[in-house]
Amino acid sequence: MLVSIKLLKMIIPFNYTAEEVGNKLSMLGLEVEGIRKVKHKFENIITGKVLEIQDIPNTKLKKTLIDTKTEKLQIVTTATNLKSNDVVPVALPHSKVANGTEILERDFKGMISQGMLCSYAEIGLDPEILSSEEKEGIFTFPLDTPIGKKVEDVLPIDDDYLELSLLPDRADAFYLVGLARWIEIIKAREEKRRADFAQFEDHSSINIAGETPIPIYIEDKTLCPFYSGRLIKNVTVSKSSLSLRQKLFMLRIRPINNVVDITNFVLRFYGQPLHTFDADTIQKEVIIRRAKKGERIKTLDEVERKLTEDNLVIADERGPIAIAGVMGGYETSVTEKTKNVFLESAYFSPHCIAKSARSLGIVTDASDIFERGADPLLPPKGSIIASNLISKEAKGIPAKENVVSFITPAEPVNLRLSRVEKILGERIDKEYVKKYFDFEGFDYKDKGEQLEVIAPSFRRDIEKEIDLIEEIVRMKGYNEFGEALIVDKLKAAKRTDYEDFIWKLKDKLVKIGLDEVQTVSLTSESLLNLIGYNEKDSVIKLLNPLSSDMSLMRPLLLSTLLPILERNKKMGNTDIAMFEIGKVFKKEEGFKETDELGILLSGKRTEKNYLKVEFAYSFPYLKGIFEDIFSFCNIAPRYVPEQLTWMHPYQSAGIYLDKERIGYIGRINDDILEKIGVIDKVFYGAVNVEKLMQHCNEKIQFKPFSLYPPVKRDIAIVVDEDTPEEDVRKAIISAAPPELKKIVLFDLYKGTPLPPNKKNLAYSLEFSSVHKTLKGEDINKFIDQLEKVIKEKVNGKLRKE
Amino acid sequence: MKDKIEQIKMEFEEKIKGKSLKEIKELETYFIGRKGKVTELFKMLKTLPKMQRREFGAEINELKQFIEKNISEQVATLERKEKIRKLKEESIDVTLPGIKLHTGNLHILSQTILEVEKIFLSMGFDVMVGPEIEKDYYNFEALNIPEFHPARDMQDTFYLAKKILLRTQTSPIQIHAMEKYKPPIRIIAVGRCYRRDAVDSSHFPIFHQVEGLVVDRKVTFANLKGTLAEFTREMFGKDVKVRFTPSYFPFVEPGAETSITCVLCGGKGCPVCKYTGWLEMGGSGMVHPNVLRGVGIDPEVYQGFAFGWGIERIAMIKYRIPDIRMFYQNDLRFLKQFKG
């Protein structure tokens, strides 16, 4: 919201700079985000009246005669919107328009133009706040605009605006008088006196003639506690006068016609939302009621809207003619042809208007104020102010208003001084509390240890004791309170076991040498298609995504890790070893979120070096990391070959704990990588973190180790090529004595001199005993047995060294 | 005999000069080997009369010892020289660069969260978590933001179904905490939040918050200020101050926006703090009585404070990260700057 300092100063004098006002308001909770300074950029452009317009034959040009009070100028223009008597901006010879171009006398094929008539753009006006008529062709001023005046003196262009960002509890500052009241509070506080809000009241009386023949009925007084309707006869609907136009300009209201402009002005200036109907289109009566299901209305913006019981409407005999507090109806709106106006000034329930506006998806200035809480005592005054303005601007004659009111006097709010101290941690003297309430113009009665407080009717944020305590803090100053640490019995503070585990796991992964990444938890259809994720039905969709690339909740980390891989590779970060621990989401018994760990490797562990030593990431390396993690978590899962659409069909395995699949590892399918421009091999594994957690709390206890030197023995076994290595290893272990402490596969060989379809596995075995030094003979017996076991279990042959 | 001994000694002295290790071994054999010249002398000794045997025996022994000593001395010298030569051969250029393995780091958000948790744990706050997919009730209604309340517009929300949404703040964890535990409650909760904000250098649809909640019989506004001031000093340095400005969050009252001294300009005013000298960190305030009542806590007996600060915001200020998007782009050149 932009607020004109110029206009503000017209109703409340102050000597602060714009920046100072901004800062003072911010410190009271009315956040001013900045100051916008506007200064006209044109030079020597004055107002002039069009006396004559003539077409120049065989051209699109027109010759005009312009009266600038001191002289009459011949000016050539291409504009088509001009009429005699229009008041327009005239750029005199040697003037400058807003973009800096200098205007000179010009010769149009023998026709001299002594200057130029200007459009809104040439005087640098903001199109946002202009009527459609003003934006077309040459800009036209109200008809009563004096001529020969500098444009910057006619339109209040040069001004400073406060950029106000108001929170929903500040309904009392959404309009100019409301904001002026806050400046009055600032002054009162500085001058240590009671705020005087009476200075902002309009005390003008109204001359009425006759009755308003349209009766008013309210169906539900909780939804509409007050409604005033007044007939204003014989109006002339036209353009607003200069004085009103100037105010609209400063309030940044787009002009429509004088009657509508007045209702908008009263809303933005005094804070009373109004609506005007063409009285002759209202059938018989006005009823304020809930809409019936299936009812429809064409609103002012010419949209046909379906109504529900959530909408409060103003209806006549035939049906809805306006959506109460939100937007008027098109059929009953005030137009140039309107002769008689029905002026509505009402108070509607905030909740009802909020619900109504939101159910239709409409936000208007009126609904903004009503839903935040308008001043329930303002409608009668609003009606008088608007009626007087309409009679002045549009020559209408107001009748006596019809009023239905269920407004009851406000209940006082009790404030216990003991409560103030208890909440704030500081005793505040009663006399100070009273002073604070004086600064804000609150009424109160001293009841000893309590104050009975009545806030002004526009302060809808004051309903309860706690609201008053907040006002004490606001007035004393948030930063005028002391700081105190909590003094309490000591106890050990901690994380949940699960969170503790996650941090330990992250620490372990970092120690292994992986970088943690954190990716967005939202993914897209196209990424899931790229991966070939086929459980589409269980993917959770956002109902209102911001963009298609963040429209789904990720069902697997890989979908958001791939773009990170792609980006890093493109940026030349070729060696990647990263992990993420994050939520993945699924439709399962409602919506389910679980933590997943994903590890992605590509490139090398080592930097390129002069020793020519390299350690390229590979499946076994990835598996080693997972084995480390599993051992850290006290689990020993199995690996079972499997095929996943996004993995290499013969380099991937499911990870099983008992019979449950808790994850998978392998190499990412090259086809997918090709599509994101990655040429290196990429290895990836993922596990469910909650499954890892199940055994992680088993306590680590010391196990004795041998104090005697170990005996080492290397063996080699030839088996069929497709025999899983794990089977061979298990066979060895099954035959081994308990003294076998370590078994390491140190060579794997296929090819000559081995027969085809055979492979050689070489193991290094290490034996030790806690009781004695082992001798060669102790092991020989086992090696002898092994030959038979290998033959039986894996159809292999032991080659003794 | 005497001449022979003298002759052999001279021969030895002549021959040992400038010999290599291998040649010295040969000399050893030549003089004192089984068929060496000195050994031969011993054999000859048997042919001499008894009287002379003793005399010459002693002299030959002397000669043998002389030769042995000389040889072992010479060998030691040569071996020492050889060792030095070998070591010299192995000399390297110590200014060559070291060879590194890639090492890992925690994401800077994790590092920041750890630091935040550490400070609050030390102040006796337990650390809680809550779900990212929330019911409307927890994210709004129980926080004194009923349906259609204008405050809902302050946070543009992603919905998954009717009344089910992605939490827009960590504040729903306040409600979970008060449902689960009886006062006294002193917790923080860190987590991922979602808002339907257009992306720019300071807005991203995903971000993290740290929520704090303290509920007890005598927890005051002064305690709120003290706690946040202490946290700020620990996190940003002892000269950094907290400023409270009135603000509106329906679940706290009095409610405040909390800012800290701009750490870039020290409060003097610069482009980052828009020349205010202050940086906004998040909301705070005293828990609204409606919220307490809603979870069955009597606001006449218990009261408390709550706050919610942005983790990205903390990290951006502390580490001077210019753009929130960098956290989620995960460029390794970004991640690896933050060692930890």
3-state secondary structure A170-214: CHHHCCHHHHHHHHHHHHHHHHCCCCCCHHHCCCCCCCCCCCCCC
Mean pLDDT on A360-383: 94
Mean pLDDT on A340-348: 98
| 3-class DSSP string for A79-132 | CCCCCCCCEEEEEEEEEECCCCCEECCEEECCEEECCEECCCHHHCCCHHHCCH
A400 shares its domain with A420: no
From residue A777, alpha-carbon distances to A333, A567, A781, A801 in Å are 110, 60, 7, 15
A614 shares its domain with A658: yes
Query: Nearest CA to B175 among B221, B233, B131?
Result: B131
Beta carbons within 10 angstroms of residue B110's beta carbon: 22
- HSE at residue A219, side-chain half, CA atoms within 13 A, is 13
Whether B124 sits inside 8 A of A493 (CB atoms) is yes
pLDDT digits 0-9 by tens, A535-579? 999 999 999 999 999 999 999 999 999 999 999 999 999 999 999
pLDDT digits 0-9 by tens, B298-335? 999 999 999 999 999 999 999 999 999 999 999 999 99
CATH code at position A311: 3.50.40.10
Closest Cα in chain A to B153: A168
Nearest by CB to residue A29, choosing from B104, B223, B246, is: B246
The pLDDT value recorded for residue A209 is 92
The 10 Å CB-count burial string (b at 16+, else e) for B184-194 is bbbbbbbbbbb
Query: Nearest CA to A177 among A273, A275, A268?
Result: A268
How would DSSP label each residue in B59-103? HHHHHHHHHHHHHHHHHHHHHHHHHHHHHHHT---TTSPP--B--
Mean pLDDT on A365-375: 94
Our count of domains for chain A comes to 6
A326 shares its domain with A224: yes
What's the rounded Cα separation, in Å, for the pair A652 and A700? 32
The pLDDT value recorded for residue A781 is 86
Final residue before a domain boundary, out of A637, A661, A693: A693
Measured between CB atoms, does A516 come within 8 Å of chain B? yes
Phi-psi domain of A221 (left: phi exceeds 0; alpha: psi -120 through 50; beta: other): alpha
Least confident of A55-59, A455-459, B313-317: A55-59
The pLDDT value recorded for residue A762 is 95
- How many residues make up chain A in this entry? 801
The pLDDT value recorded for residue A416 is 97
The pLDDT value recorded for residue A430 is 96
Residue with tokens 């009626």: A387
Measured between CB atoms, does A606 come within 8 Å of chain B? yes
pLDDT digits 0-9 by tens, A494-541? 999 999 999 999 999 999 999 999 999 999 999 999 999 989 999 999
Whether B198 sits inside 8 A of A546 (CB atoms) is yes
Domain extent for A683: 497-693
Whether A518 sits inside 8 A of B247 (CB atoms) is no
The pLDDT value recorded for residue A148 is 95
Mean pLDDT on A356-382: 94
Top residue of A369, A475, A518 to mutate, by most chain B CBs within 10 Å, is A518
A742 shares its domain with A630: no
Residue with tokens 């001499």: B48
Beta carbons within 10 angstroms of residue A777's beta carbon: 7
Is A698 part of any domain?
A: no
Distance from CA of A466 to the nearest CA of B (A): 7
Whether A509 sits inside 8 A of B104 (CB atoms) is yes
The pLDDT value recorded for residue A491 is 85
B 100-119 residues with CB < 8 A to A: 100-107, 109-110, 114, 117
Query: Nearest CA to A394 among A342, A328, A341, A330?
Result: A341
Whether B102 sits inside 8 A of A575 (CB atoms) is yes
The pLDDT value recorded for residue A753 is 87
What's the rounded Cα separation, in Å, for the pair A428 and A28? 19
Q: Tell me what percent of the residues of chain B surpass a pLDDT of 90.
A: 67
A 613-632 residues with CB < 8 A to B: 613, 615
A 127-156 residues with CB < 8 A to B: none
Distance from CA of B187 to the nearest CA of A (A): 9
Residue with tokens 């706040």: A129
A390 shares its domain with A460: no
What's the rounded Cα separation, in Å, for the pair B106 and B110? 6
A103 shares its domain with A122: yes
Confidence of residue A783 (pLDDT cuts 50, 70, 90): confident
- How many residues make up chain B in this entry? 340
Nearest by CB to residue A485, choosing from B154, B230, B336, is: B230
The pLDDT value recorded for residue A800 is 62
What's the rounded Cα separation, in Å, for the pair B314 and B317? 5
Q: Encoding tokens for residue B115? A: 């630091």
| 3-class DSSP string for A37-91 | EECCCCEEEEEEEEEEEEECCCCCCEEEEEECCCCEEEEEECCCCCCCCCEEEEE
Q: Encoding tokens for residue A194? A: 């009671």
Query: Is the pLDDT assigned to residue A219 strictly greater than 90?
Result: yes
Measured between CB atoms, does A493 come within 8 Å of chain B? yes
Nearest by CB to residue B225, choosing from A474, A483, A575, is: A483
ipTM of predicted assembly, 2 dp: 0.89
Final residue before a domain boundary, out of A629, A663, A693: A693
Q: Please compute Rg for chain A using Cα positions.
A: 41
Burial class (CB in 10 A: 0-12, 13-18, 19+), A315: buried
Least confident of A247-256, A753-762, B35-44: B35-44
B 296-335 residues with CB < 8 A to A: 303, 327-333, 335
Whether A493 sits inside 8 A of B198 (CB atoms) is no
Query: Is the pLDDT assigned to residue A699 strictly greater than 80?
Result: no
Bridge partners, B79 (sequence order): none
Query: Is the pLDDT assigned to residue B154 strictly greater than 90?
Result: no
Nearest by CB to residue A550, choosing from B205, B247, B330, is: B205
Which residues, 6+ apart, have CB-to-CB distance to B178 below 8 Å? B185, B213, B215, B292, B295, B297
Final residue before a domain boundary, out of A142, A157, A172: A157
Distance from CA of B258 to the nearest CA of A (A): 10
Phi, psi of A281 (to 5 degrees): -95, -5
Distance from CA of B73 to the nearest CA of A (A): 39
Confidence of residue B54 (pLDDT cuts 50, 70, 90): confident
End-to-end CA distance of chain B: give it in Å, rounded. 86
Measured between CB atoms, does B92 come within 8 Å of chain A? no
A132 shares its domain with A243: no
Beta strands in A458-575 (DSSP E): 515-516, 522-523, 552-553
Q: Say what angle helices B311-319 and B221-236 make with each other, to 10 degrees.
A: 40
CATH code at position A91: 2.40.50.140
Q: State the CATH architecture for B108-335.
A: 2-Layer Sandwich (3.30)
Beta carbons within 10 angstroms of residue B255's beta carbon: 24
Is A480 part of any domain?
A: no
Q: Which SS3 state, helix, strand or coil, does residue A247 take?
A: helix
Q: Encoding tokens for residue A332? A: 């009953």
What's the rounded Cα separation, in Å, for the pair B60 and A116? 137
Is A436 part of any domain?
A: yes
CATH code at position A614: 3.30.930.10
CATH code at position A185: 3.30.56.10
Query: Is the pLDDT assigned to residue A801 strictly greater than 60?
Result: no
Measured between CB atoms, does B95 come within 8 Å of chain A? no
Query: Is the pLDDT assigned to residue B143 strictly greater than 80?
Result: yes
Q: Encoding tokens for residue A304? A: 């046909």
Least confident of A155-159, A163-167, A552-556, B150-154: B150-154
Closest Cα in chain B to A613: B99
Q: Encoding tokens for residue B311? A: 């983790």
Bridge partners, A300 (sequence order): none
Is A610 part of any domain?
A: yes
Nearest by CB to residue B245, choosing from A27, A169, A591, is: A27
Phi, psi of B215 (to 5 degrees): -130, 125
Whether B196 sits inside 8 A of A610 (CB atoms) is no
Residue with tokens 């939490």: B167
Query: Is the pLDDT assigned to residue A205 strictly greater than 80?
Result: yes
Distance from CA of A248 to the nearest CA of B (A): 27
Closest Cα in chain A to B147: A355
Q: Encoding tokens for residue A368? A: 């903004």
Is A730 part of any domain?
A: yes
From residue A353, alpha-carbon distances to A472, A566, B150 in Å are 31, 50, 11
A 384-443 residues with CB < 8 A to B: 422-426
The pLDDT value recorded for residue B5 is 84
- Residue A288 near residue A325, CB atoms below 8 Å: no
Is A209 part of any domain?
A: no
What's the rounded Cα separation, in Å, for the pair B110 and B210? 12
- Residue A257 near residue A336, CB atoms below 8 Å: yes
Burial class (CB in 10 A: 0-12, 13-18, 19+), A686: buried
Mean pLDDT on A350-362: 93
Where in chain B are the domains?
Answer: 2-89, 108-335
B 256-295 residues with CB < 8 A to A: 256-257, 274, 286, 288-289
The pLDDT value recorded for residue A669 is 95
Cis peptide before B184 (omega within 30 of 0): yes
Nearest by CB to residue A478, choosing from B105, B117, B256, is: B256
A547 shares its domain with A582: yes
The 10 Å CB-count burial string (b at 16+, else e) for A731-745 is bbeebbeebbeeeee
A241 shares its domain with A379: yes
A31 shares its domain with A49: no
Whether B255 sits inside 8 A of A470 (CB atoms) is yes
Closest Cα in chain B to A611: B99
Closest Cα in chain A to B188: A495
Whether B102 sits inside 8 A of A358 (CB atoms) is no
- Collect all residues of chain A within an 8 Å Cβ-Cβ radius of residue B159: 542-544
Phi, psi of A613 (to 5 degrees): -95, 130
- Residue A775 near residue A767, CB atoms below 8 Å: no
Distance from CA of B78 to the nearest CA of A (A): 34
Is A488 part of any domain?
A: no
Measured between CB atoms, does B216 come within 8 Å of chain A? yes
Whether A423 sits inside 8 A of B221 (CB atoms) is yes
Closest Cα in chain A to B131: A593
Whether B186 sits inside 8 A of A169 (CB atoms) is no
What's the rounded Cα separation, in Å, for the pair B193 and B205? 8
Q: Which SS3 state, helix, strand or coil, does residue B275 take?
A: coil
What's the rounded Cα separation, in Å, for the pair A184 and A196? 7
From residue A527, alpha-carbon distances to A532, A553, B256 in Å are 8, 12, 42
Query: Is the pLDDT assigned to residue A313 strictly greater than 90?
Result: yes
Which residues, 6+ apart, have CB-to-CB distance to B135 below 8 Å? B163, B164, B165
Measured between CB atoms, does A563 come within 8 Å of chain B? no
- Collect all residues of chain A within an 8 Å Cβ-Cβ radius of residue B110: 506, 516, 518
Query: Nearest CA to B4 among B50, B53, B59?
Result: B59
Confidence of residue B1 (pLDDT cuts 50, 70, 90): confident
pLDDT digits 0-9 by tens, B23-48? 888 888 888 888 888 888 888 888 88
Is A271 part of any domain?
A: yes
| 3-class DSSP string for A570-617 | HCCCCCEEEEEEEEEEEECCCEEEEEEEEEEEECECECCCCCCCCCEC
